[in-house]
Chains A and B, each alone.
Chain A
Amino acid sequence: MPAGGPGSVFSQIAHSATASFSEYLARTAPELLPGARSAALGGLQAPAAGGPGSAVPQVPHATTIVAMAFAGGVLMAGDRRATMGNVIASRHIEKVFPADQYSVLGIAGTAGLALDVTRLFQVELEHYEKIEGTLLSLEGKANRLGAMIQGNLALALQGLAVVPLFAGYDTDRRAGRLFSYDVTGGRYEELEHHSVGSGAFFARGALKKLWKPNLDEDAAVRVAVEALYDAADDDSATGGPDVVRQLWPVVYTVNAAGVRRIPDRELAAAAETVIASRTVAGREA
């Protein structure tokens, strides 16, 4: 029997010994994959854009995520709102998640699918780590996420898109890095800062003025909170800081020490600073 070649013992074993959880699921239990529902939804007649009046049922949409580099790492922040058409579907949804010890993931788009993709991605990274005994490289993680988004393309074309933002600390290069995606799974490395979701344009405008190279962590948190404030100011689908319910954005930082969630009391202070300075300025726009 030849040692290599398709059909040999080696290739059979190598094929079954995948370290990828999503590949394993696709082979053994494809109905569990987030994209598998495209078959169920295949009968839906959807126009090109899933706007109001389309045949795609109204489902919650997650909105704005911002991410930026700071001295020694990267930061990602998301507002707390999910909308369903003109209705607020959730006031305290969380859209930024730690993917593993050294990376975070933020999601915009169809909330249900996005949460499934996130869960699958988290298991994917942990699975690789347990099977192989080492962490996947940051580029490797970014590529796997791209493949998962590509798997959702059929649904995205029906208006159920999921658009993630991925940030992590590259332990080889000793630097934070940032990746954005399109619905086809295209992966683009971003420098400095980036934002996705319905309020992304406004957040991006704010980031252009507020972001500076080598911000420290506290300053970066304040910039993120202010950028989300600006997004919420002009985009009805993005939630601003909610002082009545004490709801603040979800902010994670990643540096050489790993992922850290910024505690609520720091976010409350940052949000109140922004609100106070805007109140003092008393400007209309």
Chain B
Amino acid sequence: MTQQFYVSPEQLMKDRADFARKGIARGRSVIVLSCREGIALVAENPSVSLHKVGEIYDRIAFAAVGKYNEFESLRQAGVRYADVRGYSYNRGDVTARGLASVYAQSLGAVFTADTKPFEVELAVVEVGGTPAEDHLYRLTFDGSIADEKGFVVMGGQTESLNEALRRSWQDGMDFPEVIRAAVGALSGDGAGEAGESGARKLGPELLEIAVLDRDPLSSRGSRRAFRRLSAAEVAAVLGTQEE
């Protein structure tokens, strides 16, 4: 019979948290920003088909960093949860708060009970009628849930990105402005200004950008607020930055 070594619960949780944190910090960042026109989701992602941001429901979107297979299964579960709920009740009854709490519970259960915690960090966001009614929930690997205001930064060098965005982000901005602010933060690694020494150049081919329109019914005749920006649209938004 093998002897089980005693490990204190504190140590066990700390080890698991360190393990998950390391996995998440290795990845590239995702930024979600609320603004006058809606919510923009900006990810540094060289792949055009393996998405980091996705549509969940009419006014709800999902963004994630970490291991692709883990957050993709969580995203699909979220789509199923939202569609079943909307189908059995009504489309208006699907809320980001409900979804975020289900995510928090499942992440928490996996963190404490499973062999390995999920190495992911998620944002569940819902666009409201006004910027004050936007909901941005950040969910971490251990099931913690935070209700953020303004913007959420996940993965990579979160400290410096937060710092850069705190300088450049304002709540009255429109989509091109917040997207440029986010891309500036991502490429400048905190320096903020593009073209500065040490700043990387992030072209449209390295970016995955989607938006939640605040009023999709009048602008596009659709109740689905989620819209992915094509590489050409991203180039158009970023191109004006040089002028």
**Contact residues of A with B, CB < 8 Å?**
17, 21, 24-25, 28-29, 32, 119-120, 123, 126-127, 130-131, 133
Contact = CB atoms under 8 A, between A and B. Distances in A.
Contact of A29 (B51, B76, B79, B88): B88
A24 B87 contact: no
Contacts of B55: 130
Contacts of A131: 76, 79
Given A130-B54, A130-B56, A133-B51, A32 B76 contact: no
Contact of B86 (A17, A28, A123, A133): A123
Contacts of A123: 83, 86-87
B59 to A, nearest CB: 14
B80 A17 contact: no
B3 interface: no
A21 B76 contact: no
A127 B88 contact: no
A133 B80 contact: no
Given A21-B83, A120-B87, A131-B76, 13 more contacts: A17-B76, A21-B87, A25-B87, A29-B84, A29-B88, A32-B84, A119-B87, A126-B83, A126-B224, A127-B80, A130-B79, A131-B79, A133-B49
20 contacts: A21-B80, A24-B84, A25-B84, A25-B87, A28-B84, A29-B84, A29-B88, A32-B84, A120-B87, A123-B83, A123-B86, A123-B87, A126-B224, A127-B79, A127-B83, A130-B54, A130-B79, A130-B83, A131-B79, A133-B49
A25 B80 CA distance: 9
A197 B56 CA distance: 36
A127 B87 CA distance: 11
Contacts of A120: 87
A130 B51 CA distance: 11
Nearest to B228: A133
Interface of B: 49, 51, 54-56, 76, 79-80, 83-84, 86-88, 224
B94 to A, nearest CB: 12
Contacts of B88: 29, 32
A22 B124 CA distance: 25
A213 B83 CA distance: 41
A29 B224 CA distance: 25
Contacts of A119: 87
Contacts of A17: 76
Instruction: List the 10 closest A-B pairs by CB distance, nearest first.
Output: A130-B79, A127-B83, A123-B87, A130-B55, A32-B88, A123-B83, A131-B76, A21-B83, A131-B79, A24-B80
B56 to A, nearest CB: 7
- With a 10 A CB-CB cut-off, give which of B54, B55, B76, B224 has the most chain A CB atoms: B76
Nearest to B58: A126
A248 to B, nearest CB: 20
A21 B57 CA distance: 14
A130 B226 CA distance: 11
A29 B54 CA distance: 25
B241 to A, nearest CB: 28
A127 B224 CA distance: 12
Contacts of A32: 84, 87-88
Q: Which of A17, A126, A130, A133 has the most CB of B within 10 A?
A: A130
Contacts of B54: 130, 133
Nearest to A31: B88
A18 to B, nearest CB: 9
Nearest to B222: A101
B152 to A, nearest CB: 21
Q: Which of B54, B83, B86, B88 has the most CB of A within 10 A?
A: B83
Nearest to A127: B83
A280 B224 CA distance: 47
A133 B208 CA distance: 14
